[in-house]
């Protein structure tokens, strides 16, 4: 599979089968599973020297979509179809490149593309706290350990903490269709990302059938190439068949 370099990332394209499995999950899986699938794809398909945060991962998914289905995006807005350049969405991503601080507590820039709640996000990204003038780093603790520590430290201040966190993550968003904003922690973002990768599965099954029936390719080819390459192979075959048909038709019409 081909690999591409963008900024700090090396991204390897999805094979045809990997993309088809993703599409199936988008159709049938619950949101939490879809998030896991996206996170797994990023873990497998992306190399980077930096620790990836939410803005990196959203950008990577947009780049993967561009590699898989092209840079042009069709958006349905008020029952009208608009064509939009996915690179403009990538360029519009904004985030606050600093940790979130609350009293003596420090939280890393959120790392996952979606959480079930803001409090879950805070626990997962809990980095450190001060006690008796000393900083205690707990970044590598388990989720459960961090949850217990955070609850003991904040007591009944959960609402105050989440309110300040809401203000912090208001700086994380992307834009499309000009000025329409989606906060990176709005529930609609996951639906937006899912929509970018959706495709009619019947089209994919047709491609598989035609590739194996007419081009006589071995099924292993679907693990070796991505959807764009297989479409090219199939289109070349169709073009050759049409040219052959025209040539034969011309020969048949030649006076004897």
Same domain, 60 and 110: no
Number of domains in the chain: 3
Same domain, 19 and 88: yes
Q: Is residue 254 part of a domain?
A: no
Domain final position from 118, 149, 169: 169
All residues at 6 or more sequence positions from 117 whose CB lies less than 8 Å from its CB, including other chains: none
Same domain, 63 and 43: yes
Same domain, 110 and 178: no
Provide the residue range defining the domain that includes 39.
3-94+172-197
**How many whole angstroms separate alpha carbon 43 and alpha carbon 130?**
32
Same domain, 43 and 107: no
pLDDT tens per residue across all 256 residues of the chain = 788 898 889 999 999 999 999 999 888 888 888 889 999 999 999 999 988 998 899 999 999 999 888 888 776 666 777 777 888 888 888 888 899 999 999 999 999 988 888 899 999 999 999 988 899 999 999 999 999 999 999 988 888 998 999 999 888 888 876 677 888 888 788 888 888 888 888 888 898 888 888 888 888 889 888 888 888 888 888 888 888 888 777 666 555 5
All residues at 6 or more sequence positions from 61 whose CB lies less than 8 Å from its CB, including other chains: 38, 42, 113, 193, 196
What are the angstrom distances between the C-alpha of 18 and each of 25, 61, 116, 191, 227? Answer: 11, 14, 26, 20, 10
């Amino acid at each position: 599979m081909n690999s591409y370099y963008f900024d700090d990332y090396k991204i390897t394209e999805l094979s045809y089968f990997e993309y088809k499995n993703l599409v199936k999950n988008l159709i049938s899986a619950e949101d939490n599973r879809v998030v896991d699938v996206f996170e797994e794809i990023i873990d497998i398909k992306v190399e980077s020297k930096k620790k990836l945060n939410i803005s990196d991962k959203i950008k990577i998914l947009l780049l993967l979509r561009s590699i898989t289905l092209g840079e042009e995006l069709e958006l349905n807005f008020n029952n009208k179809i608009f064509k939009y350049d996915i690179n403009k969405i990538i360029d519009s991503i904004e985030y606050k490149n600093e940790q979130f601080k609350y009293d003596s507590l420090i939280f890393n820039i959120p790392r996952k593309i979606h959480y079930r709640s803001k409090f879950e996000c805070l626990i997962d990204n809990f980095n450190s706290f001060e006690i008796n003038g000393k900083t205690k780093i707990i970044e590598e603790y388990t989720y459960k350990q961090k949850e217990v520590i955070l609850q003991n430290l904040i007591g009944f201040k959960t609402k105050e903490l989440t309110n300040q966190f809401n203000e912090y993550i208001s700086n994380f968003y992307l834009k499309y269709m000009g000025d329409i904003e989606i906060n990176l922690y709005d529930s609609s973002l996951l639906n937006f990302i899912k929509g970018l990768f959706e495709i009619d599965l019947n089209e994919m099954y047709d491609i598989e059938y035609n590739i194996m029936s007419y081009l006589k390719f071995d099924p292993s080819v679907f693990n070796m190439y991505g959807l764009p390459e297989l479409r090219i192979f199939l289109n070349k075959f169709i073009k050759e068949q049409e040219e052959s048909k025209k040539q034969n038709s011309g020969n048949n019409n030649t006076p004897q």
